[in-house]
């Protein structure tokens, strides 16, 4: 990890509004010589150090995983393809670009023909065909074909680097936690200074109040308003989740994606690589009526000899049918038609003659030929082969390939159903094949539709009626994801190829596999480095544990903000002593907020996210905070009327606040189990020890009650 990254993390956690407020308040307390009441600074320091250590630790692990995830570019050196680190690529080098590669350098295409997607730059989703001499822009990606290109720019000279450097608009994280933190900071920022000034002024006007007492009372009020532990707890829990996931070879590229995935209630799967392993084997080939086996095999060998083995299907076909000929990037005799997700076929062309292989319904409009394919589909992936001369099509035959179904596919599907996650399958295969496999692995709702049969799909209606979508083009995948989101779902999308990128960017949370394309990995928020889709349930479980527990712990922190803010405003107008001193508030905050909040946040909890932030504030934080505030006001009036000493007032205030706070911890811990019960007993033991042990009584300035 680079040193400047470490310094950025240190600066991020050190130079914060909360730390600035703590320093100012500490200076105020130090100015009156009450150094004991500066203990809250140690807590702030500890918060900062924990945040720094957690984030650096998480960053180091993410960086190590990213080195595994990022595939180095291929450079031609002495006619050989050599994987070369990005920083070692020089201007003038010749790089090899294949299907799924993201273009890292501004380059000029030398040999071959490719189709690229430049939506990152232009916003246009249509693929662009590039020929020798054309410019290849960094940031775009190859959607079909293979080529060599000469590097023109590297590093900050690349167009994509210049765009990123000049960009002034930064997209904020799509996170409810992130928004909550910002709102709290905004609230504190707007109110802390004016309330503090008024409160300090009012303390000096209380009869008999010393300069020291006025400052310490004001500091106690203001320090209590700051929910600094909540900010620390949120970042720490997400950082720890990132570390735990990294041990499972899951690369988290966006910290808040853990929260998003935890909220997912709809997951869109591609059959290949999720329900199946992605490994393809040729089952057999079937000669079409009226054709010969020789014609079929000759056509296959001719096509395959001109096309690269750059995906699981083509590799299986090469292994089975390609005997002697080798793929060439260019060919003077034939024009190559590379495979693309929009076309769904590939092939070669020589003048008026074409040999094509792929999805038959995309290669021909002859419905009688398509019916021949449907007869032999069963649960296989079907590759059809046709010969076209001057527009006249001859069906030569079919190759049937088998997907290897994942051994744990049934368990994965069961996990989603058990955790209230709707399963949708979006695939480029034919409907019969996908439906058969879906049933095999335990998918319950197998209502499906073949999008190639629809002229103008109504996606809003389709997502209400079906759960399996086949023969889907990249733009249609994106439209489906958008329709699911508009229907109220929080959508996760899995993908491994360039055909998935548009949908992955549209999804709330995107997941790619390590063996997938460069572009897919870079577009995703989570990368399964072992290409093991079985890790997804544990990712969702990790996210749910983090967010559920954070939502529950939030009420502890916000209750303090509620009663501290209320008391600060009220005591501007009351001529009584403020009921708290900083050192006692440090103890209360630890016992009733920080310690139980951290412990509960690490507890196992995989229940479905219920978005209970507002509920917790209304149901727990506000009532508890107002109860404590009302109790403190009543206690202050009683103390003033009955002549209680300042020490007795502070001690009774700590006991009452602790008791009400403990009751809140009990409420959010229900139903009690052994773990939560021991937590409550430990909190009580710490509080009793602080009140009864002479050494701690002196530190916290607890006075005899009567």
3-state secondary structure 290-322: CCCHHHHHHHHHHHHCCCCCCCHHHHHHHHHHC
Please provide residue 393's backbone torsions phi and psi, each rounded to the nearest 5 degrees: -105, 135
- pLDDT per position as a tens digit, 75-87: 998 888 898 888 8
**% of the chain beyond a pLDDT of 90:** 21
Q: Report the SS3 class of residue 101.
A: coil
- Mean pLDDT across the stretch 408-432? 88
> What is the side-by-side order of every strand in the sheet holding 468-470?
250-252, 526-528, 509-513, 491-495, 266-269, 422-426, 468-470, 448-450
Q: Which contiguous run of DSSP H or E holds residue 215?
A: helix 211-225
Residue 173 confidence (pLDDT): 47
Mean pLDDT to the nearest integer, 606-634: 82
Express each pLDDT in 376-408 by its tens digit.
Answer: 766 678 899 999 998 888 999 999 988 788 888
Whether the CB-CB separation of 188 and 225 falls below 8 Å is answered with yes
Residue whose tokens read 């775009």: 140
489 vs 109: CA distance, rounded Å:
42
Give the pLDDT confidence score for residue 326 in this predicted structure: 53
Domains annotated on the chain, with CATH: 3-61+173-241+540-700 (1.20.1110.10), 74-166 (2.70.150.10), 242-276+405-539 (3.40.50.1000), 280-403 (3.40.1110.10)
pLDDT at 324 (0 to 100): 55
Length of the chain, in residues: 706
Q: Within the chain, what is the greatest distance between any pair of CA atoms?
A: 110
Strands 353-358 and 381-389: antiparallel
Query: What pLDDT digit, counting tens, does each position of 484-503 carry?
Result: 999 999 999 988 776 787 88
Let me know: does 405 contact 427? Beta carbons within 8 Å.
no
| Residue predicted with more confidence, 615 or 393 | 393
Task: State the Cα–Cα distance between residues 37 and 640, nearest whole angstrom.
Answer: 24
What per-residue confidence (pLDDT) applies to 350? 84
User: Mean pLDDT throughout 179-203?
Assistant: 77
Tell me, what's the pLDDT at 623?
92
* DSSP for 343-365, written as a single string: T-EEEEEETTEEEEEE-HHHH--
How many angstroms separate the CA atoms of 698 and 285, rounded? 88
pLDDT averaged over the chain? 82
Instruction: Check if the beta carbon of residue 690 is closer than 8 Å to that of residue 696.
Output: yes
Residue 681, pLDDT score = 95
pLDDT score recorded for residue 599: 84
Query: Which residue(s) pair with 350 in the sheet?
Result: 353
pLDDT for 655 equals 94
* Mean pLDDT, range 456-480, rounded to an integer: 91
pLDDT band at 338 (very low <50, low <70, confident <90, very high): confident
Please give the Cα distance from 534 to 606 (Å, whole number).
Answer: 17
Active centre residues (catalytic): 270
pLDDT attached to residue 75: 93
């Amino acid at each position: 990890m680079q040193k400047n990254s470490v310094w950025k993390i240190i600066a991020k956690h050190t130079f914060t509004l909360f730390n600035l407020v703590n320093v100012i308040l500490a200076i105020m307390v130090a100015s009156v010589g009450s150094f004991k009441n500066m203990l809250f600074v140690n807590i702030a320091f500890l918060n900062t150090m924990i945040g720094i250590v957690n984030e650096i630790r998480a960053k180091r692990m993410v960086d190590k995983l990213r080195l595994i995830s990022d595939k180095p570019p291929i450079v031609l050196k002495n006619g050989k393809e050599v994987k070369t680190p990005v920083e070692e690529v020089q201007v003038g080098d010749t790089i090899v670009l294949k299907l799924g590669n993201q273009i890292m350098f501004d380059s000029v295409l030398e040999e071959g023909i490719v189709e690229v997607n430049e939506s990152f730059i232009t916003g246009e989703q249509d693929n662009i065909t590039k020929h020798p001499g054309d410019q290849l822009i960094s940031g775009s990606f190859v959607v079909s074909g293979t080529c060599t290109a000469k590097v023109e720019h590297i590093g900050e000279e690349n167009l994509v680097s210049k765009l990123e450097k000049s960009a002034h608009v930064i997209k904020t994280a799509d996170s409810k936690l992130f928004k909550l933190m910002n709102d709290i900071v905004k609230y504190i920022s707007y109110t802390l200074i004016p309330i503090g000034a008024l409160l300090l002024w009012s303390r000096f006007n209380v009869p008999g109040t010393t300069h020291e007492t006025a400052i310490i009372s004001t500091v106690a009020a203001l320090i209590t308003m700051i929910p600094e532990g909540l900010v620390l707890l949120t970042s720490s829990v997400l950082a720890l989740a990132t570390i735990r996931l990294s041990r499972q070879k899951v690369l988290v590229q966006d910290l808040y994606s853990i929260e998003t995935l935890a909220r997912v209630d709809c997951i869109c799967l591609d059959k290949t690589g999720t329900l199946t392993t992605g490994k393809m084997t040729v089952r057999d080939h079937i000669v079409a009526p009226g054709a010969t086996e020789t014609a079929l095999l000759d056509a296959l060998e001719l096509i395959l000899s001109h096309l690269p083995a750059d995906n699981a299907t083509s590799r299986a076909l090469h292994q089975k049918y390609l005997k002697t000929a080798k793929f060439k990037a260019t060919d003077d005799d034939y024009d190559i038609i590379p495979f693309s997700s929009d076309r769904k076929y590939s092939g070669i062309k020589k003048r008026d003659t074409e040999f094509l292989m792929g999805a038959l319904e995309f290669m021909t409009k002859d419905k009688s030929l398509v019916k021949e394919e449907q007869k032999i589909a069963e649960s296989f992936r079907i590759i059809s082969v046709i010969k076209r001369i001057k527009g006249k099509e001859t069906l030569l035959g079919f190759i049937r390939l088998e997907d290897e179904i994942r051994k744990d596919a049934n368990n994965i599907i069961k996990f989603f159903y058990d955790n209230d996650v709707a399963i949708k399958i979006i695939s480029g295969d034919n409907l019969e094949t996908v439906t058969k496999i879906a049933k095999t692995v335990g998918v319950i709702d197998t209502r499906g539709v073949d999008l190639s049969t629809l002229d103008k799909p109504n996606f809003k209606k389709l997502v209400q009626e079906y759960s399996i979508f086949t023969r889907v083009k990249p733009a249609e995948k994106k439209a489906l994801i958008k329709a699911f989101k508009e229907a109220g779902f929080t959508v996760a999308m899995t993908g491994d190829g360039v055909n998935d990128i548009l949908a992955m960017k549209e999804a709330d949370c995107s997941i790619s596999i390590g063996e997938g394309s460069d572009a897919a990995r870079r577009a995703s928020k989570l990368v399964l480095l072992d290409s093991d889709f079985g890790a997804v349930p544990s990712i969702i479980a990790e996210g749910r544990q983090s967010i559920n527990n954070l939502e529950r712990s939030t009420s502890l922190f916000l209750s303090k903000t509620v009663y501290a803010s209320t008391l600060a405003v009220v005591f501007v107008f009351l001529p009584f002593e403020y009921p708290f001193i900083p050192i006692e508030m440090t103890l209360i905050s630890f016992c009733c907020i920080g310690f139980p909040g951290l412990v509960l946040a690490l507890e196992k909890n995989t229940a479905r996210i219920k978005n209970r932030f507002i509920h917790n504030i209304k149901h727990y934080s506000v009532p508890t905070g107002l109860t404590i505030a009302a109790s403190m006001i009543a206690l202050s009036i009683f103390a003033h009327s009955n002549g209680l000493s300042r020490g007795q007032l502070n001690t009774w205030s700590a006991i009452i606040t602790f008791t009400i706070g403990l009751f809140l911890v009990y409420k959010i811990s229900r139903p009690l189990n052994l773990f939560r019960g021991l937590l409550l007993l430990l909190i009580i033991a710490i509080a009793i020890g602080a009140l009864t042990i002479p050494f701690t009584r002196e530190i916290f300035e607890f006075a005899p009650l009567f």
